[in-house]
Chain A
Amino acid sequence: MATWKNGKVWMAAMLCLIIVLAGCSSNNGGSKENTNNSKNNSNAAAEQDSTNTGATNAATDGGADAKSSIEFMGWGGDTEKAVFQKLIDAYMKKYPNKKVKYTVVPSAEYYQKLDTLIAAKKTPDVFYAGGANFNKLVASGVLKNLQPMLDSSSLVDQTNVWPAGLDRYRFDGTTTGQGDIYGLPKDVGPWTFAYNKDLFDKAGLPYPSAKAGEYTWDDMIADAKKLTVANDRGKIDTFGVAGYSTESAVWANGGDWTDGKGTITIDTPEFAQAMQFVADLSLVNKVSPSPDDEKAQNGYARFVAGKIAMFPMGPWDQPGFWDLPFNWDIAAWPASPNTGKTATWLGSLGFVVSDKTEFPDDAFRLAAYLSLDQESQKQNYELGQAVPNLIDMAKGEFLQMDKKPENRQVFLDIISDYGRPPIENSSKNTKWLDTFWQDASVVWNGKQSAAEFVKAEQPKLQKLYDESNK
């Protein structure tokens, strides 16, 4: 009787414990503990081996047989996930002793998850980072300096990687963009200027030039006016241009958001003029959808429906655009008539390694493999996900690829010539930039001129910028 009762007590107690533990472990992301344990048990000796060989072996692929278990975390849609799973499977086949656990997190929750893992001291060994978040992570000492391994390893030929892609991940202890390398590019994403060839043909217009500086803002406005068509009810049905990049306009005109030394420089005449040019595309020239029009149907949906003549695109848009029922190609961004120059942003996301990783050499090996492996790069560009990180491949087979766009050279021009890091790369936090875009709506809807707006906005942004970059 007594034991039976005791049993019940125990069961109740166990139940409580299970409830509490279940709550805890779901917070930690499930199975992480298990892999940690197995790592500790079976691989402690091997791990030591691998660090030793890594340190002593220069320029050879030492430690290729050492056992390790790496956690790799990233985000992405189904295509990206499938590509990476395939790559990782191939990697594990190549190195049978190295295990990789791949976790995909929805992109919107990625940095929340990552920061929580870091705070809980469970940082993945290899993970994605880019933009302002990379700056924050590297300045907080979360990331491993890859320079020593890069210099001693035979896995990476640094001269064959786009400098724009590598420089993004440099950090000298205070600022990014120079110093040692802390990450390897997953991709380089030139933001290009696409156009609907059929609409240009219909209007009898020559195509915009693929060479930087030949096609100007004025040319574009003149063409766009001819390409903009209203329907019988008087409502504009086809617009000349949509989603014109404010970054491109501002940079082409010689302005910028910051001076690179911590001062917000939006209150210059060049900046205001460029911003006004973008706003006037819809306000004055009526060749671009207004914010209200965008709200009803965004530029992307309109372009895909053949109702936009000129529209920006990234390499990742290729698969979606290959299926379009009209002809299209890409051109250089229009140049500012004031400077004769053009510019656009060049996005990039990187593979970074945790400073606390148990297997630095193998984490680096995986990052290098994912970033620069011939096969993976080939697969990536064939699927229309990215431009190859390897210069010889990009200039060779990628240019020859038998798919739209024809002017693939534009991608490479942006990477090697007039592409710039996105604005957020100048900061550790995007709060000031988000505020800028939120507030800028008064310029897009014509409530305020760009000149008035930037003058009032500068002190506010400066304050926010200083707060997040102190």
Chain B
Amino acid sequence: MKNTKVGYRRKEMIWSLIFVMPPVLGFLIFGLAPLLTSFGLSFMSWDMLTPSKFVGADNFNYMFNDEKFYKSLYNTFFLLLGIPVGMVISMILAIMMNRKLSGISIFRTIYYIPVISPIIAVSLLWQWMLNYDYGLVNEFIWKIFGTQGPNWLGDPNWVKPSFIIMGLWGGVGGTMVLYLAGLQGISSTYYEAAEVDGATRWHQFKHITLPLLSPIHFYVVVMGIIGTFQSFSQMYILAADGGPEYSGATIVYYIFQEAFKYFNMGYASSVAWVLGILIFIITLVQFRLSKRWVYQD
């Protein structure tokens, strides 16, 4: 009975396999293979020149005793502060952009431009803006507040706030678009009903807008944390040596230095795996917690 279907089914199968092949091959070669290799490497010592040696858990032992590992981990966690700030700003922007004004799309475009600007060029521009003596930012602070602004990229306490500010400028546009989509997905009937019941604008925002945007909040937090844990380019441009007292080095920067400056491929792989597991755990916890506060329609 089944045999009659085989010819037809088989053709379907072949076709589906062919269509699926490019991404699958791509994943196998550029995704899975490096993943497995780096897992193996994380238990080895390899400088790319001499054959690799199995060293067991040495890499991990070294990592947990390395001052720079903790410093870069701390720096990375510090940068997470940018996520809530970014969410607030982009939500405010989205609410402002969610009006039927003529030319509103121009404003939306303006706020979105930083998202598509190349990060290297943007970082170099910020380097000028944040210059201690001649930068626009400190010039502005001097004009408005009459005081000398901080040494943004030269003072270990100000390097990370500088990175956060740059990240906000570059990131709020993208988040704003997400919130905008979320806002436009909220049915106006809720607001109408609330208005009939005498709810103020604030109450409407607090009890309708905010909860109904919770899937967006969730998405932004998850992606924000993953993105922050992977931040690298800005630091590479603006703090090429790790910044003053290693205050600008993130975990990925640390991995990059170990791998491509000192060629400790095995060690770099083990740090990368710790980072991957860390992101995995944090995201898992977020998904668990999300059941308590994310509304699904």
Contacts and interface: CB of A to CB of B under 8 A. Distances in A.
Q: Do A and B bind each other?
A: yes
A295 B50 contact: no
A98 B131 CA distance: 52
A292 B131 CA distance: 10
B262 A468 contact: yes
Contact of B131 (A142, A296, A431, A434): A296
Interface residues of B, number: 31
A16 B22 contact: yes
Given A115-B263, A295-B151, A20 B26 contact: yes
A442 interface: yes
A334 to B, nearest CB: 27
A375 B88 CA distance: 66
A104 interface: no
A141 B131 CA distance: 46
A116 interface: yes
A34 interface: no
A405 B154 CA distance: 35
Interface string B4-35: 00000000001000110110011001100000
A291 B133 CA distance: 12
Given A119-B49, A140-B49, A19 B26 contact: yes
Interface string A107-128: 0000110011011000000000
B48 A438 contact: no
Nearest to A118: B49
A136 B49 contact: yes
A438 B245 contact: yes
Contacts of B131: 295-296
Given A112-B260, A291-B154, A437 B241 contact: yes
Contacts of B172: none
Interface residues of A, number: 38
Given A20-B26, A291-B154, A296 B134 contact: yes
Chain A CB within 10 Å, residue with most, of B19, B133, B262? B262
Contact of B245 (A292, A293, A439): A439
A9 B154 contact: no
Contact of A23 (B26, B153, B242, B260): B26
Contacts of B151: 292, 295
B253 interface: no
B48 A119 contact: yes
B132 A292 contact: yes
Contacts of B246: 438
Contact of A16 (B21, B68, B241, B245): B21
Contacts of A119: 48-49
A12 B245 contact: no
A141 B51 CA distance: 11
Contacts of A13: 18, 21
B244 interface: yes
A415 B67 CA distance: 39
B48 A115 contact: yes
A229 interface: no
Nearest to B134: A296
A296 B132 contact: yes
A160 B19 CA distance: 67
Given A20-B29, A115-B263, A429-B262, A140 B245 contact: no
Chain B CB within 10 Å, residue with most, of A16, A118, A435, A439? A16
Nearest to B258: A431
Nearest to A467: B62
A378 B154 CA distance: 43
A450 to B, nearest CB: 16
Interface string A16-28: 1001100110000
A297 interface: yes
B95 to A, nearest CB: 39
Interface string B123-140: 000000001111000000
A13 B19 CA distance: 9
A292 B244 CA distance: 11
Interface in A436-461: 437-439, 441-442, 460
Contacts of B30: 23
B25 A20 contact: yes
Contacts of B242: 438
A118 B265 CA distance: 14
Contacts of B14: 9
16 contacts: A13-B18, A13-B21, A16-B18, A16-B21, A111-B263, A115-B263, A119-B49, A292-B154, A295-B154, A296-B132, A296-B134, A297-B133, A431-B262, A438-B241, A438-B245, A438-B246
**Those 4 A-B pairs whose CB atoms lie nearest each other, nearest first:** A296-B133, A140-B49, A295-B154, A119-B48
Given A435-B68, A438-B241, 14 more contacts: A19-B26, A20-B29, A23-B29, A115-B48, A136-B49, A140-B47, A142-B49, A291-B244, A292-B154, A296-B132, A296-B134, A297-B134, A429-B262, A431-B262
